[in-house]
Amino acid sequence: MPASAIRRVGHPYHFRPRTSVGGGSMSKDNKPGRRRESFDAVADAYGLYRPAPPTEVVDAVIASSNLRQGSSVLEIGCGTGQLSVPLAKHGVDLVAIELGSHLAAVARRNLVEFSNARVEVGAFEEWPLPMHKFDAVVSASAFHWLDPAVRYSKSAEALRPEGCLTILHVHHVRGGTPGFFEDTQPYYIRWGLSDDPFFQPTAPANVPTMYPELDELQEFSSVERQRFEVPVRYSTASYIGWLRTDSLVNSLDDEARRGFLQDIEQLIDAKYRGTVARNFVYDLTVARRAS
């Protein structure tokens, strides 16, 4: 994707925590039906159709986290290595944790040439932290699945003073091929994935602040946020492949999932000549561990 197609949404902005300690709440992505374990069953499709973050976003992750060659990084929920590979290429010493054994196997294959990276299977909440502290704890599209009771405190415990908790979250936003989103909504309703015929994604400028409780936690001294609007173009095959990795779609039984995917496939081929675009906002949050 050309860098000119990526648009920064607003400017980086900072917060300092106040004296109270705020709690967390489960993301709406953790509502019944969505399961973080569902991705492991579609590991091969996940590797093929889930894109790596754009170079500009990866560069922002590296720069904001102060990562250099030899920096010690813990990655939570590496999937098949979409962010792990560019981090390993940058020369960091990477330990990646992945809940799903099939996803981890693909990640290991993708990282095989990097002696500075290893992948371990397990849940972060239960994974025993090593004695040494990390320069950064990084998580892309996975942090919202973690137990709010431990995700911040354990991440802080894993970090050295001034180390960074770096979270990348992807929002589905308005934009892309005109009319396509509206045309898909009846199929979401037909197959029980939505009950709102008028639902629209959020405008890029209006995506909610992610993890606002970070601004209150005494373990962290400051929080910086950046956003990048990214258009993505799909063929019919790549869009259906991407949908196969969606946790909501995978909450359907086999028959309903096949029906839903066939409806979307026929729509793209018949009305959109086999190609559509969707817009996303990559939301980068970097919290610095207090000294």
pLDDT value of position 38: 75
111, pLDDT greater than 90: yes
What would the DSSP string read from start to end of 188-243?
HHHTTS-S-TT--PBPGGGPPPS-GGGGG-TTEEEEEEEEEEEEEEEEHHHHHHHH
pLDDT digits (tens, 9 = 90+) for 224-281: 999 999 999 999 999 999 999 998 999 999 999 999 999 999 999 999 999 999 999 9
Share of the chain above pLDDT 90, in %: 85
| Per-residue pLDDT band at 22 (split at 50, 70, 90) | very low
pLDDT value of position 7: 65
State the Cα–Cα distance between residues 246 and 121, nearest whole angstrom.
21
The verdict on domain 3-176+200-232+278-289 having CATH code 1.10.1040.10 is no
- Kindly report the average pLDDT of the chain as a whole number: 90
Decide if 212 contacts 15 (C-beta within 8 A). Answer: no
35, pLDDT greater than 80: no
Q: Which residues contact 93 (CB under 8 A, 6 or more apart)?
A: 70, 71, 72, 73, 116, 117
pLDDT value of position 24: 29
263 token code pair:
């409806």
Decide if 177 contacts 277 (C-beta within 8 A). Answer: yes
Tell how many helices (H) and how many strands (E) occur in the chain.
8, 9
**Range of lowest pLDDT (12-21, 79-88, 107-116, 163-172):** 12-21
**pTM score, whole prediction:** 0.88
Question: What is the identity of the amino acid at 267?
Answer: L
52, pLDDT greater than 70: yes
State the Cα–Cα distance between residues 72 and 119, nearest whole angstrom.
14
pLDDT value of position 39: 87
pLDDT value of position 29: 41
221 token code pair:
């001294």
pLDDT digits (tens, 9 = 90+) for 132-186: 999 999 999 999 999 999 999 999 999 999 999 999 999 999 999 999 999 999 9
pLDDT digits (tens, 9 = 90+) for 80-96: 999 999 999 999 999 99
Q: Domain-by-domain residue ranges, the chain?
A: 3-176+200-232+278-289
pLDDT digits (tens, 9 = 90+) for 196-230: 999 999 999 999 999 999 999 999 999 999 999 99
Q: How would you class 27 by CB atoms within 10 Å of its CB: exposed for 0-12, middle for 13-18, buried for 19 or more?
A: middle
State the Cα–Cα distance between residues 70 and 93, nearest whole angstrom.
6
Distances (CA, A) of 144 to 126, 153, 219, 239, 275: 16, 14, 19, 24, 31
Phi–psi pair at 74, nearest 5 degrees: -105, 120
104, pLDDT greater than 60: yes
